Amino acid sequence: MEHLQYFGLNDDPFRSDPLERFQLEIRSQQDALRRVDRGVRQSRSLIVVSGAVGSGKSTVLRKLYEDLEEEVFEASMMLVLRGSVDADWLLRRFASQLGVEDPAQEREELVGQVYERLAIIREDGRHAVLIIDDAHALAVCDTLRELFALVKLEYEDRRLLTVVLAGAPRLAEVIDTDRDLAEQVDVRLELRPFSPEETAGYLGQRVEMASGHARLMLPDAVAALHDLSHGRPGLLNKLADNALFESYLAGRSELVKADVERAHADLCWESPIVSAEVQATPEPANSEPANRANGATPPPMSVPALQGGNCEAEITLGRDSLGDLESELEAVFEPETPVPAAGSPTLLTDFDRPAQAAQPKVEPAAVQSAPELQLEVLDAPPKDVDEVDDLFMELLDD
């Protein structure tokens, strides 16, 4: 292209195609690849790779898939394009990739077909590997349970299948909501963003592999690329490619910070990049106290539905957690204390009254509708015994 020739480049340095010469020796990605490869070669059942959009998960999976020898592994790689998938769709798709010609409609029969194919692969001296990219679309408890059940299939006391899942952080979060699912994971890792040094090395190597010079990008431009892409290689490629074109339009021979900022604005990345998966994550449990502190009315207690499908979450309470639950309920449902009018008595409830301070007993006011008592006023009673006797004698005479 014209702008690439303008900078003396014989190839697009920021292309997203998985070309072998652009698979760089970035330490974080190489470490992730070695960990996943070790788990597969040890026939571990379940491997989970998580990371934000653009963190390089797909690059690691493609490299893993290419490195698995066909004479040792029967590897299948699936990219989930749908918003969410159910267990039946996943199982039927996997059966087709294994070579099942006519997948059954009934689940029991379909599982039998899958097991038969896995057993044949094992007898052939190979190990089956299922790699699923964008697996956050499977982040539904029922679908994950169905998938995790496949890794339990055994033949001659050996597991028949290794499953590698890679997806946004929501995938790991959903797995963690179910203890049984979490305990089945054999290898787990998270791809983290590049450091500023890794970003500079990544960009420089990309330019040099396209027959350019690393000094094409000035230090302030490299720093801006790192900050605005959050150190994610996938986003770095997009931003650097657009910034390079902006520099060409401006007639500059080097990439400067202004070019990066203009490209960033055109890509509508003014706010921090938040993926759809992160936006779908429910609010943390500690958000309610902040709302109550600001005077907001606490919302009704409910368990938020997990995004991406129907998944019922169960809350299991042990003996030790009952006291904490009671305290939380009291904190949520504590009634607001009304402000008493001036001069009026204040009645305190047991929840309001401090335990150590004895409160005065407040007598209820007299009921206004009660009838008035009619009392007969008598003379003052006698003060000594003689007066009582004289009074008694007067009564006898009468």
Give the residue from 328, 261, 277 showing the smallest Cα distance to 139: 277
Q: Are residues 10 and 42 in the same domain?
A: no
Quick check: is 36 in a domain? Answer: yes
In the chain, the number of structural domains is 2
Per-residue pLDDT, 15: 81
Per-residue pLDDT, 75: 94
Quick check: is 355 in a domain? Answer: no
Quick check: is 99 in a domain? Answer: yes
Q: Are residues 178 and 214 in the same domain?
A: no
Q: Are residues 105 and 248 in the same domain?
A: no
Q: Are residues 126 and 182 in the same domain?
A: yes
pLDDT, mean over the chain: 74
Structural domain boundaries, residue 240: 2-14+194-266
**End of a domain among 243, 266, 289?**
266
Q: What percent of the chain has pLDDT over 90?
A: 33
pLDDT, tens digit, 9 for 90 and up, residues 147-185:
888 888 888 888 999 999 999 999 999 899 888 889 999
Number of helices followed by number of strands (H, E) in the chain: 16, 7
Q: What is the CATH number of the domain that holds 223?
A: 1.10.8
Q: Are residues 78 and 213 in the same domain?
A: no
Q: Are residues 168 and 66 in the same domain?
A: yes
Quick check: is 334 in a domain? Answer: no
Torsional sign, CA 4, 6, 7, 10 = positive
Per-residue confidence band for 291, with pLDDT thresholds at 50, 70 and 90: very low
Q: Are residues 112 and 156 in the same domain?
A: yes
Q: What percent of the chain has pLDDT over 70?
A: 64
| Residues 40 and 47 sit within 8 Å (Cβ to Cβ) | yes
Q: Are residues 172 and 40 in the same domain?
A: yes
Dist CA 245 CA 299 (whole Å):
50
Per-residue pLDDT, 40: 96
Quick check: is 133 in a domain? Answer: yes
Dist CA 168 CA 179 (whole Å):
20
169 alpha-carbon distance from chain centroid: 6
Quick check: is 273 in a domain? Answer: no
Q: Are residues 223 and 124 in the same domain?
A: no
Q: Are residues 205 and 229 in the same domain?
A: yes
Torsional sign, CA 202, 203, 208, 209 = positive
- DSSP 8-class letter at 300: P
Q: Are residues 106 and 207 in the same domain?
A: no
pLDDT, tens digit, 9 for 90 and up, residues 327-379:
443 443 344 444 444 444 433 333 343 444 444 444 444 444 444 444 444 44
Q: What is the CATH number of the domain that holds 73?
A: 3.40.50.300
The amino acid that residue 142 corresponds to is D
Q: Are residues 125 and 143 in the same domain?
A: yes
Copy the structure tokens of residue 146: 């169905």
Rounded to two decimals, the pTM is 0.63
Quick check: is 396 in a domain? Answer: no
**Mean predicted confidence (pLDDT) in 271-286:** 41
Indicate the range of 6-15, 302-311, 367-376 predicted with least confidence: 302-311
Which of residues 214 and 196 earns the better pLDDT score?
196
Task: Please report where in the chains the tokens 């204390």 appear, as a residue.
Answer: 337
**End of a domain among 138, 163, 190?**
190
Per-residue confidence band for 316, with pLDDT thresholds at 50, 70 and 90: very low
**End of a domain among 266, 293, 312?**
266
Per-residue pLDDT, 137: 81
Which of residues 239 and 11 earns the better pLDDT score?
239
CA distances from 305 to 89, 282, 308, 315, 369 (A): 22, 8, 9, 13, 56
Quick check: is 175 in a domain? Answer: yes
